[in-house]
A = this chain, B = another copy of it.
Amino acid sequence: MVNETQHGCNASSRSDGSSSGSESSKDNSRCSTPVLDADRHERLREKMRRRQDAGDKWFSLEFFPPRTANAAVNLISRFDRMGAGGPLFIDVTWHPAGDPGSDKETSSMIIAYTAVNYCGLETILHMTCCNQTKDDITGHLQKAKRLGLKNIMALRGDPAGEEWEEEVDGFNYAVDLVKHVRNEFDDYFDICVAGYPKGHPEAESYEADLRHLKEKVCAGADFIITQLFFRPETFLKFMKDCQAIGITCPIIPGIFPIQGYHSLRQLVKLSKLEVPQEIKDVIEPIKDNDAAIRNYGVELAVSMCRELLDSGMVHGLHFYTLNREVATTEVLKRLGMWNEDPRRPLPWAVSAHPKRRVEDVRPIFWASRPKSYIYRTQEWDDFPNGRWGNSSSPAFGELKDYYLFYLKSKSPREELLKMWGEELTSEESVFEVFTCYITGEPNKNGYKVTCMPWNDDPLATETNLLKDQLEKVNRRGILTINSQPNINGKPSTDPIVGWGPSGGYVFQKAYLEFFTSSEIVTALLKVLKKYELRVNYHIVNVKGQNITNAPDLQPNAVTWGIFPGREIIQPTVVDPVSFLSWKDEAFALWIEQWAKLYEEESPSRMIIQYIHDNYYLVNLVDNDFPLENCLWQVVEDTFELLN
């Protein structure tokens, strides 16, 4: 029994589960992914153990579900930004009053699902059990499993009434939930439980509370996250006391950077903790100065974290973010734990859904819309790895609701109008918008264009390499939406184009994708004859009329990497078949995101509608990656032919 030594329990119904038993057998395909990124194949508790063994410090972030759909969109972009700092996991709290297990875009369940699937974050979903039926709880757990969630924080939760009484055979304590999860789901979930450095406010005593904690661990919890505390010695004493009674699983201190007077008061009230006098003495005089309090909170948190880490007993820090970024990010940066340059395992952001852990090939088309790609492929039973394969890929889901909350633009309508034009007068005014997006210069009304329907973020650093050429061609009506330069063997550690393990080399074929008029397409096709053996093209209009020279509709690998001791990884392909699915989405974005900003029948709307109906979507690949990219010459030749 590994548990015996691991968690200090004498008996346990748990299997060891150092790998996820029945699931791993399914991966015995001969095409299984090389372990480029061990993270994607490990359970949270294994990651924790590995980081600890490697003497590697880590952090995690706690969020609560938002109240409104708009707040959800914001929270998700916060996940993306804070995810870039490299948390080991995030967790999402459970608010019984907010219908936490529902399909609402603001529910705990859906927020956690979004974090895992769309943001690629290892995520723990909180779950409380008191005042709930066994069936409800099992239903929630089944749903969590179905949605790809793998970790549960098992909590009792606050009783509904003032006078709470135990229910016979009911879920009265967190330990009942832990047991239930293990009984019903065996070793599927990693389970976290809460620890109270000062003892639970309702416990008979500190010692009794420690015994309850040990019961939770022995029932199958994998690690403990503590309630917040104000002094490092509080945690260190608690940790020693836990060890003394034989709790040996990881115990992670919950860190609460004080961010404001009111939030502190509220939290203290909820958690029934007392703020030490030395902190009150500092805060009271500056209670109306938010910046001052936050600075003090950061200072305090940094010094407490340093002391914890220096003790040698603490390997990870858990932050109560209150859904805010600044203070926590600041603390982590000061501690040197914020990952400034996270190594990308693949050139695109991977999803953390267990179904997708072997996925390592995607079509290039969704490069700027990875969440849309994940959404449209969520029903796939398995994901390509090693090769994209031939045209037999399963169908892409329809993008029926363009305003699906996690896919919709982060910017409100008014902002979009400022960026993309309150009024369009001609196709050229559309060219202007594209050009401003590329150059980063303000448009004629003085607004910067920071996003486009096809790109929700400003230009990628990599695309910046192509800026001058992109500006030139957009001005003339080659409306680019995706591109990459050719790369002939740069180190995998290159800060701009690198990805994968170090010691490798990455390669790219030059790629260019744009909308353009049929007049330009006619000239382009003549020019492409000269490049027949070098450039592959796909040219399609909204009706699906498709012109290509791709051999047998085979996919073309446009990004690949060679690494020490590994098979070749080719994470990005131009796939002629999925291009037609992308085409529908790319054309629809003209209407859904842009045309609909304007009144029906308005000239502005009619211009966008005209482009939608008449332009072509073109992609070009220069296969000769060791030579200078010829795609600019292709475009140059096309303009020349037109003149």
Residues of A within 8 A of B (CB): 28-32, 34-35, 382, 384-390, 392-393, 488-489, 503, 505, 507, 533-534, 536, 549-552, 554-557, 560, 562-568, 570, 573, 621, 623-626
CB nearest to A383 among chain B residues: B30
Minimum C-beta distance from A626 to chain B (A) = 6
CB nearest to A30 among chain B residues: B389
Contact A623 B565 (CB under 8 A): yes
A564 to B489, CA, bound (A): 17
CB nearest to A489 among chain B residues: B626
Contact B551 A392 (CB under 8 A): no
Contacts of A567 in B (CB 8 A): 387-388, 554-557, 570, 573
Contact A562 B625 (CB under 8 A): yes
**A-B contacts, 10 listed (Cβ < 8 Å):** A29-B392, A30-B388, A31-B384, A34-B554, A489-B489, A507-B562, A550-B565, A564-B623, A565-B623, A568-B568
Which among A533, A549, A623 has the greatest number of chain B C-beta atoms within 10 A?
A: A623
With contacts A489-B488, A489-B626 taken as known, whether A31 is within 8 angstroms of B566 at the C-beta atoms is no
A53 to B384, CA, bound (A): 36
Contacts of A554 in B (CB 8 A): 34-35, 565-567
Minimum C-beta distance from A628 to chain B (A) = 15
Minimum C-beta distance from A380 to chain B (A) = 10
Minimum C-beta distance from A567 to chain B (A) = 5
Contact A32 B392 (CB under 8 A): yes
Contact B625 A564 (CB under 8 A): no
A533 to B621, CA, bound (A): 34
Contact of A30 among B382, B505, B556, B573 (CB under 8 A): B382
A556 to B564, CA, bound (A): 7
A392 to B32, CA, bound (A): 9
Minimum C-beta distance from A191 to chain B (A) = 27
Minimum C-beta distance from A372 to chain B (A) = 21
Minimum C-beta distance from A634 to chain B (A) = 15
Contact A533 B573 (CB under 8 A): no
Contact B566 A28 (CB under 8 A): no
A625 to B536, CA, bound (A): 28
Contact A505 B387 (CB under 8 A): no
A31 to B392, CA, bound (A): 10
Contacts of A555 in B (CB 8 A): 34, 566-567
Minimum C-beta distance from A543 to chain B (A) = 25
A570 to B569, CA, bound (A): 10
CB nearest to A488 among chain B residues: B489
Which among A385, A556, A568, A626 has the greatest number of chain B C-beta atoms within 10 A?
A: A568
Contact A566 B562 (CB under 8 A): no
A569 to B456, CA, bound (A): 35
Contacts of A388 in B (CB 8 A): 30, 567
A392 to B33, CA, bound (A): 12
A567 to B557, CA, bound (A): 5
Minimum C-beta distance from A50 to chain B (A) = 13
Contact of A562 among B385, B557, B563 (CB under 8 A): B557
Minimum C-beta distance from A550 to chain B (A) = 5
Given contacts A385-B387, A534-B564, 13 further A-B contacts (CB under 8 A): A29-B31, A30-B382, A30-B384, A30-B387, A31-B386, A34-B387, A503-B533, A503-B624, A555-B566, A556-B566, A557-B562, A557-B566, A560-B568
CB nearest to A549 among chain B residues: B565
A32 to B623, CA, bound (A): 22
A384 to B567, CA, bound (A): 13
Contact A533 B35 (CB under 8 A): no
With contacts A28-B392, A564-B534 taken as known, whether A505 is within 8 angstroms of B626 at the C-beta atoms is yes
Contact B568 A390 (CB under 8 A): no
A565 to B523, CA, bound (A): 23
The 4 A-B pairs of least Cβ separation, nearest first, read A564-B623, A386-B387, A30-B389, A31-B31
Contacts of A549 in B (CB 8 A): 565
Contacts of A565 in B (CB 8 A): 536, 549-551, 554, 556, 621, 623
Contact A393 B566 (CB under 8 A): no
Minimum C-beta distance from A117 to chain B (A) = 20
A390 to B552, CA, bound (A): 29
A564 to B552, CA, bound (A): 12
A565 to B35, CA, bound (A): 27
Minimum C-beta distance from A447 to chain B (A) = 41
A545 to B551, CA, bound (A): 48
CB nearest to A550 among chain B residues: B565
A35 to B387, CA, bound (A): 13
Contacts of A488 in B (CB 8 A): 489
Contacts of A566 in B (CB 8 A): 551, 554-557
Minimum C-beta distance from A549 to chain B (A) = 8
